[in-house]
A and B are shown apart, each in its own frame.
Chain A
Amino acid sequence: MPLRHYKRWAVALLLLVALAGIIVDAASREAYEWSAFRKYLLDGRVIKASLVTLELTLLSMFFAIILGVALGVMRRTENPIFKNFAWLFIWIFRGTPVYVQLVFWGLFSTIYKEVFIGIPWIHFGDFSLGFHLTLSQTASLFWIAVLGLTLNEAAYMAEIVRGGLLAVDSGQEEAAKSIGMSSLQTMRYIVIPQAMRVIIPPTGNEVISMLKTTSLVTAVPLVTDLYARTRDISNETYNPIPLLLVACTWYLFYTTILMAAQYFLEKRFGRGFNRNAVISA
């Protein structure tokens, strides 16, 4: 006689009934305006805005991961300047709200209309060592948003990377050195691939979290992303709820894709750590 889980089934049934009730109720409620939901879900403007959100997410994460790895490695070095710089960066960007940072970077481009990159006090006639960058022209609000999101996220990534590096046994580094690998090769071929196993799950969460944080870029103010765009449309047509549902559907759609990507990456970098893995000849 197999074990019967009566209680478990009872609770599950209760949940199902409740869920069905909510769905049936929502389907018939006027306020949700399902016809508007269907109309705007695949609206050209909404699809374009959802792609802006995706771009913001992927670009910011890409730069944040690079910067985060650099900061995480810097915190581990013996060099006190590197160490303290990384600490200061993390302290500032993790210690202030991302919304406030985005407002600040938005204002930044109005405070510094032009930035000179190079050595300012050396010039020969018209020729100078460096170049002028006109922020109000070249740096669109989109890139300011990417900058703001990147710097904030890099602080979190640095901590994740540091944790990952600490998780790798110090014997690994010794073994790599004993076969003549340089510090850089040891990092690249031995330490980082193993740290990845620890780094990827929280990084996946960060990507998904970033997808949703992009809805704050309105602080810059950037208004081409998914949330701002659907809000603007609803301001014209006075139907906020269906457009909020449209936005949520798109966020969920991308989150699902990102979760699948995370699953495959985790599998890839978990190689060798699972005793029961199938051995391919």
Chain B
Amino acid sequence: MVDAQAINKSYGSHKVLKDVSLTVKPGEVACIIGPSGSGKSTFLRCINHLEKIDAGRIFVDGQIIGYREAHGKLYELRESEADIQRRDIGMVFQRFNLFPHMTALDNVIAGLIHVQKVDKKKAEVEGLALLERVGLGNKSTHFPSQLSGGQQQRVAIARALAMKPKLMLFDEPTSALDPELVGDVLQVMKDLAATGMTMIVVTHEMGFAREVADSVFFMDEGVVVESGTPDQVLGNPQEARTREFLSKVL
């Protein structure tokens, strides 16, 4: 489903990603772990083409992100074409980024109405069903400022799911939450994984990675240092840097 090949990305002279490669098969969950500033968020943003990459290729469901291939050459996509590619990729942010001027329901159906031009009545039915699914059916008329962090993040997940994405990206979805609210959000993500959704999750929740992930990637300073099954990377790390990182977070 996702095949990133030797991604490179710099901000000015600062190399943030160095030959990062990663593959995720359909229906699998990949977790990315690593210290702060190692480039995890940047990598996720590249997959969604919120950032341009300097070298390498990213395939999502067989399509090259940000480019079009014709006559053996790659052509950069127009912004409007990249917008269309992005519809198939859902993203959940560390700080939720819900639209504060809209109710929970309007947040969920904004994409359906404005992007997919679904009829408002129909969108509302779908939106309510999604809110039910994340356990917030009774909060549809609340504004984000009237919801707890955990509830906001679940609305954000519903908002991403409304577009029926093939792939979901999560950027530290629980690290801005109070500890007692983390569980609800992780539960929604576990349920989602159980439905066969392909997911890439940047997280510090090692329990979640061990339980749900099919593969774990450890990144440090823009490089994938070690990858493998959760048992290999978390249980029996081969690299010194991985062991050092794990000893700090566990």
Contact = CB atoms under 8 A, between A and B. Distances in A.
User: Is B a genuine binding partner of A?
Assistant: yes
A277 B90 CA distance: 31
B114 A181 contact: yes
Interface stretch (A47-55, A186-194, A233-241): A186-194
Contacts of A190: 99, 110
B194 interface: no
A118 to B, nearest CB: 32
For chain A, give the interface size range: 20 to 34
Contact of B93 (A175, A185, A269, A277): A175
For chain B, give the interface size range: 35 or more
Contact of A175 (B45, B89, B97, B115): B97
A280 to B, nearest CB: 6
A185 B79 CA distance: 13
Contacts of A182: 79-80, 83
Contacts of A175: 91, 93, 97-99, 156, 159
A96 interface: no
B50 A273 contact: no
Interface in B136-150: 141-146
A95 to B, nearest CB: 35
Contacts of B143: 271-272, 277
A171 B83 contact: no
A172 B99 contact: yes
Nearest to B45: A174
A179 interface: yes
Contacts of B91: 174-175, 178
Nearest to B108: A179
A174 B80 contact: no
Contacts of A271: 101, 143
Interface in B116-173: 141-146, 156, 159-160, 162-163
Nearest to A190: B99
A97 interface: no
A44 interface: no
Contacts of B26: none
A172 B80 CA distance: 18
B51 to A, nearest CB: 10
A233 to B, nearest CB: 49
A180 B145 contact: no
A266 B143 CA distance: 17
Nearest to B89: A178
Given A171-B97, A179-B163, A279-B142, A272 B115 contact: no
B100 interface: yes
Contacts of B93: 171, 174-175
Nearest to B116: A180
Interface string A261-276: 0000000010111110
A117 interface: no
A179 B159 contact: yes
Nearest to A197: B101
A114 interface: no
A38 B90 CA distance: 68
A177 interface: yes
B141 A179 contact: no
A183 interface: yes
B97 A180 contact: no
Contacts of B50: 174, 177-178
Contacts of A169: 97
B204 interface: no
Nearest to B83: A182
B48 interface: yes
B84 interface: yes
B101 A273 contact: yes
A280 B146 CA distance: 13
Given A175-B99, A178-B160, A185-B114, 5 more contacts: A177-B86, A181-B83, A182-B79, A277-B146, A279-B142
23 contacts: A174-B45, A175-B156, A176-B110, A178-B50, A178-B86, A178-B91, A179-B160, A179-B162, A180-B163, A181-B114, A181-B115, A182-B79, A183-B79, A185-B114, A190-B110, A194-B100, A271-B101, A272-B101, A272-B145, A273-B145, A275-B145, A279-B146, A280-B141
